[in-house]
């Protein structure tokens, strides 16, 4: 009786482990595929910056967080220009992350004033690199 139970349990564990390894291998394959589609480590950095920028834009553009002196269109235009620079990889990622982190740290709990928002948008657009082809 005990021998039959041991065989049944060992078969169950084998099936579970096989299923588990198939799921893990499939997940790894999907992860590698997505990682390569994003562009490897460099592409992943730009992808994360783009999504972090989108989250800050949503937060700033919400009606309870946006100052009265700032038009919604102004925020959308500023963020769109930075988003395009990220897609073209013409943005200083270190500066962009610094500007976004400073904004999140300073305005996590409080609503920014109009001058503070204008300064943030100016700094945000300042992270865009000049096009190398425009100098020639």
SS (H, E, C) the chain: CHHHHHHHHHHHHHHHHHHHHHHHHHHHHHHHHHHHHHCHHHHHHHHHHHHHHHHHHHHHHCCCCCCCCCCHHHHHHHHHHHHHHHHCCCECHHHHHHHHHHHHHHCCCCCCCHHHHHHHHHHHHCCECCCHHHHC
Across the chain, mean pLDDT equals: 86
Average pLDDT over residues 95-108: 92
At residue 21, the pLDDT reads: 93
Whether the pLDDT of residue 134 is over 50: the answer is no
At residue 34, the pLDDT reads: 83
Average pLDDT over residues 67-84: 90
User: For the whole model, what pTM was predicted?
Assistant: 0.69
């Amino acid at each position: 009786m005990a021998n039959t139970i041991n065989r049944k349990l060992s078969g169950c564990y084998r099936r579970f482990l096989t299923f588990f390894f198939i799921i893990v291998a499939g997940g790894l394959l999907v992860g590698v595929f997505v990682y390569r589609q994003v562009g490897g480590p460099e592409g992943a950095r730009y992808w994360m910056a783009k999504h972090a920028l989108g989250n800050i834009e949503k937060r700033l553009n919400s009606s309870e967080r946006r100052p009265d002196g700032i038009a919604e269109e102004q925020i959308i235009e500023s963020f769109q220009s930075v988003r395009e620079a990220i897609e073209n990889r013409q943005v200083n990622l270190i500066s962009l992350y610094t500007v976004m982190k400073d904004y999140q740290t300073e305005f996590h709990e409080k609503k920014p004033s109009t001058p503070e928002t204008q300064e943030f948008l100016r700094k945000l657009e300042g992270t865009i690199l000049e096009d190398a082809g425009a100098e020639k």
